[in-house]
């Protein structure tokens, strides 16, 4: 598999002198992979994302995205990356939703007819066509998230970078967003890098988890299933495992043999199987 993004021994020094060293495990993203950056506050998740999209320049170490140094040559790869920052409100620039989604294509010189088609296509995909002529600052948080995402995806990038996309959304909106990201990956084979605290949603749409410790060190690169089977590791980094993982660990602690379930579907199937087996034993 092709590696499209790589950060090697990156060191970042903040203006107040605080340092982040992304040592330990090398950070890589392969084409089509869905990666999440997980870690406590102060572990440098957002800073790493900013390095990947060229907004920050490392004090040492290297960053390569699509083969180039993004801090030096971002214009060469800009069209291939879609970015959604933590607060979508700060990202929406234009006075209407339609104009905001059209912002990138117009600025890249895409002909107007093609731009309109792209805008309508992406709006239809996100089911926000009714919002196209609305003024952004009157939209709800969930709607603004969708608009920001639509704006990031209108040019059909190969890599989507999202910084804390679930922040400020209600439960339903969070679920919707997680489903959207899964669907996006399934339909467009887009690579995704997300930083988030929403540990319960990670199994829904993630292939690889990078666990960052305070100070930026990457301590683990793992699948969600393997990582969430190690609650002690998560606890050491001020994180709790997803509710379902905790439930099945508690069941195992009580002597009930059950594999870890990552999603509600898996958990329901496992519990149904356990109940059936218990029923059969009882009948016997």
Partner 1 sequence: MDIGTIDLWAVSGRSSLHRASALSKLLAAGLLVSAVIVTGDVFVLLAIYLVIAAGVVVARLPLARVLTIAAYPALFALLFSISRWTGSLVEPLLITGKAMTAAAVMVLLITTTPYPQLFAVLRRFLPALVSDALLITYRSLFILLELLNDLLMSLRLRGGLTKRRYLHNARNLAAGLGLLFVRALALSEQLHDVLRLRGYSGRIAGGVSWRQTTRHDIFPLGASLLILTAVLFFRYAPGARLYNGYFLLAAILSLLAALLVSHRRGAAGLGRVSR
Partner 2 sequence: MHIPDGVMPLWIIVLGWVVTGVLLALCMASPQRRDVEARLPLLGIISAVMLAAMSLELVPIGYHLNLTVVGGIVLGPALAFLAAFVVNLVLAFFGHGGITVVGLNTLLIGAEMILGYYLYSAGLSLLGGRLSAGLLAAGVTVLALATSTLLMIGIVGLSNVNPGVASPEAAAVEPSDLSFRNPFGEGVVSWSPFAGEADAGAPPRMDLATFAMLVLGLGAVGWVIEALITGGVVSYLAAVRPDLVRLTSRAGGS
Q: Which of 107, 171, 257, 265 binds partner 1 (CB under 8 A)?
A: 107
Residue among 32, 79, 33, 27 at smallest CA distance from 52: 27
Asked if residue 137 binds partner 1 (CB under 8 A), the reply is: yes
Asked if residue 22 binds partner 2 (CB under 8 A), the reply is: no
Q: Would you tell me how many other CB atoms lie within 10 Å of the CB of residue 150?
A: 26
Cα 136 vs. chain centroid, distance in angstroms? Answer: 23
Determine the length of the chain: 284
What distance in Å separates the CA atoms of residue 43 and residue 58, rounded to the nearest whole number? 16
- The answer to whether the beta carbons of residues 84 and 91 sit under 8 Å apart is yes
Rounded to a whole number of angstroms, the minimum distance from the CB of residue 115 to partner 1 is 7
Looking at the Cβ atoms of 14 and 108, the one nearer to partner 1 is 108
Q: Which of 4, 7, 56, 128 binds partner 2 (CB under 8 A)?
A: 56
List the single partner that 13 binds among partner 1, partner 2, none, CB under 5 to 8 Å by kind: partner 2
Asked if residue 210 binds partner 2 (CB under 8 A), the reply is: no
Looking at the Cβ atoms of 90 and 238, the one nearer to partner 1 is 90
DSSP 131: G
What distance in Å separates the CA atoms of residue 80 and residue 161, rounded to the nearest whole number? 11
What distance in Å separates the CA atoms of residue 215 and residue 14, rounded to the nearest whole number? 12
Rounded to a whole number of angstroms, the minimum distance from the CB of residue 84 to partner 2 is 17
What distance in Å separates the CA atoms of residue 88 and residue 147, rounded to the nearest whole number? 8
List the single partner that 96 binds among partner 2, partner 1, none, CB under 5 to 8 Å by kind: partner 1
Binding site for partner 1 (CB under 8 A): 50, 53, 55, 74-75, 78-79, 81, 83, 85, 89-96, 99, 102-104, 106-108, 112, 115, 135, 137-138, 151
Binding site for partner 2 (CB under 8 A): 13-15, 50, 55-56
């Amino acid at each position: 598999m092709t590696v499209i993004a790589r950060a090697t021994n990156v060191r970042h020094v903040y203006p107040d002198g605080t340092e982040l060293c992304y040592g330990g495990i090398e950070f890589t993203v392969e084409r089509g992979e869905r990666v999440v950056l997980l870690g406590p506050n102060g572990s440098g998740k957002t800073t790493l994302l900013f390095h990947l999209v060229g907004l920050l320049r490392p004090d040492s170490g290297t960053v390569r995205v699509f083969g180039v140094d993004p801090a030096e040559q971002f214009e060469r790869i800009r069209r291939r990356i879609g970015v959604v920052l933590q607060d979508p409100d700060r990202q929406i620039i234009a006075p209407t939703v339609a104009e905001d989604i059209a912002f990138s294509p117009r600025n890249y010189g895409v002909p107007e007819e093609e731009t309109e088609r792209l805008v309508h296509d992406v709006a239809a995909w996100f089911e926000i066509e009714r919002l196209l002529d609305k003024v952004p600052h009157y939209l709800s948080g969930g709607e603004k998230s969708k608009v920001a995402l639509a704006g990031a995806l209108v040019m059909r990038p190969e890599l989507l970078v999202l910084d804390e996309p679930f922040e400020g959304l209600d439960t339903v909106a969070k679920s919707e967003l997680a489903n959207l990201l899964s669907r996006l990956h399934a339909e467009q084979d887009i690579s995704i890098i997300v930083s988030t605290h929403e540990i319960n949603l990670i199994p829904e749409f993630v292939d690889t988890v990078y666990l960052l410790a305070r100070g930026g060190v990457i301590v683990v690169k793992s699948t969600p299933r393997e990582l969430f089977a190690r609650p002690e590791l998560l606890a050491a980094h001020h994180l709790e495992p997803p509710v379902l993982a905790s439930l099945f660990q508690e069941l195992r602690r009580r002597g009930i043999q059950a594999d870890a379930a990552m999603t509600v579907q898996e958990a329901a199937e496992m519990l149904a199987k356990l109940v059936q087996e218990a029923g059969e034993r009882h009948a016997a």
